Structure 1
Amino acid sequence: MTTNSRRTTNARAGLHAALLCVAAAISSAAVATEFGNADDFNAQFHVIGSLLESACHLDMRSAYQEVALGEISTADLPQPGDQGVSVAVQLKLRGCVRTEGGRREANGGALAWSRAEPVVGITFRAQTDPDTPELVGVLGASGFGLRLSDASRRRIAVGQQTRAWFVAPGDSTLTYYITPERTAAALQPGHFQAYINLFLTYD
């Protein structure tokens, strides 16, 4: 991938940053030459900058979401590995531009490449469950964790970037699932909560 074709943006909760350079200068000679009497001017500002074309931006309504899993019965999680009802979470990307992009999968995997679609990678970070580190840990109730999976229901490891995902030009929606899953610890009923941070990478 060339430097000119690569546009990478890491953002907490999917945020972009734009760079604008502003230069100011005072030049009495230049002012006098172009405008006549330099005594009529105190300063001259020469403003320059660049309008950058970014791959996508995250819809602000997707940046912070409260996900309700509802009431989970201990009867639904009798054995380690048993799962409750999954809840979908959607991330909305806006203004994705037509651009080439690519990314190699982790551990020397296959190269995902497109000449017309940017590639999105997502990393979920959270406190993991002490008994099953691949699950997101919960605070409060115990005996279960939260399983993350993508739209194809492939499991997502906490702290590792997801598989490359091509996004079509325009607006796109990425769907992920959160599923309660029993661990080896004893079930302890009660209210619970968890915090999951999400980082997006555009290539």
Structure 2
Amino acid sequence: MTPLMAPLLLGMTLCMTQTAGAAIIDNWGVEGANGSLYVTGALTESACRLEMESAYQTVSLGEIGTGRLAQIGNRGTPVGFALKLTDCLTSPSGSRDVRTGGLTWGGDQPAVTVRFSAPRDADNPQLVKAQGVSGLGLRMLDGQGRDVRLGDRGAPLALTPGQNALAYTVAPERTATRLTSGSYRAVVDFHLSYD
């Protein structure tokens, strides 16, 4: 054996030992010791993302005396809330207002319609039913002061790329039923549609 063959033979022996050891440590052939993880998902294109703080909100209307709601149609102080949208993409849109038939179109602006759903007041179906009292409903208005159409898509709103805040208000309003005092509550769901 020549002096150069000894290091070569030693190197080959070490390689074979590591390969044999790796096969033993792997345990791939042992039943029940191995498996596979399948990962799936979807990348979707969305016009905007609703911020979590907007998804679930509590709006407190505070206290109002029955004297301020003496007549049918009298309203308390409106309280504002907003639906905050982020990551709005630049995209074309075309959305028709179901009430007026008008078209909102933008070559590089997304548009959104919002549908609010809640039980309606028996005396005035434009109002949200206030649970726990009688003679009181809740009036919702959009940022332009228009009535929110419960159960229907609202007027299309053009969005700017980036961040947007859709402003609304809610206020207590007297209805035709006899007014009784007490605590009240309501749950209003909403759905955003991008066109």
Aligned letter for 2:165?
A: T
TM-score, normalization by structure 2: 0.78
How do 1:29-48 residues align onto structure 2 when only pairs under 5 Å count? none
Give the structure with the larger strand fraction. Answer: 1
After superposition, the Cα gap between the structure-2 partners of 1:47 and 1:160, relative to the gap in structure 1 and judged at 3 Å, is closer
Aligned letter for 1:94?
A: T
Which protein is bigger by CA-based radius of gyration?
2
Extract unaligned runs of 5+ from structure 1.
1-39
Aligned partners of 1:62, 1:49: CA distance in 2, in Å?
25
Q: Which residue of 1 aligns with 2:179?
A: 187
| CA deviations over 1:8-37 (Å, ceiling 9, x no partner) | xxxxxxxxxxxxxxxxxxxxxxxxxxxxxx
Is it true that 1:125 corresponds to 2:145 in the alignment? no
Aligned partners of 2:187, 2:121: CA distance in 1, in Å?
12
1:51 positional shift: 3.5
Give the structure with the larger helix fraction. Answer: 2
Q: Which residue of 2 aligns with 1:137?
A: 129
1:45 positional shift: 10
> Deviation above 2 Å: which 4+ runs of structure 1?
43-53
Is it true that 1:175 corresponds to 2:144 in the alignment? no
Q: Kindly, what percent of the aligned residue pairs are identical?
A: 41
Q: Which residue of 2 aligns with 1:106?
A: 98
1:44 positional shift: 10
Aligned letter for 1:152?
A: Q
**Partner-residue secondary structure (3-state), 1:188:** coil
Q: Whose RCO is larger (CA < 8 A, sep 6+)? A: 1
After superposition, the Cα gap between the structure-2 partners of 1:57 and 1:84, relative to the gap in structure 1 and judged at 3 Å, is same
| CA deviations over 1:101-154 (Å, ceiling 9, x no partner) | 111111570211101111100001001101111100011111110001011111
Aligned partners of 1:119, 1:112: CA distance in 2, in Å?
8
How do 1:1-203 residues align onto structure 2 when only pairs under 5 Å count? 51-106=43-98, 109-203=101-195
The 10-residue stretch of structure 1 (44-53 or 116-125) with the greater mean CA deviation from structure 2:
44-53
Aligned partners of 2:88, 2:146: CA distance in 1, in Å?
25
Extract unaligned runs of 5+ from structure 2.
1-27, 29-34
Aligned residue pairs: how many? 164
Aligned partners of 1:47, 1:192: CA distance in 2, in Å?
47
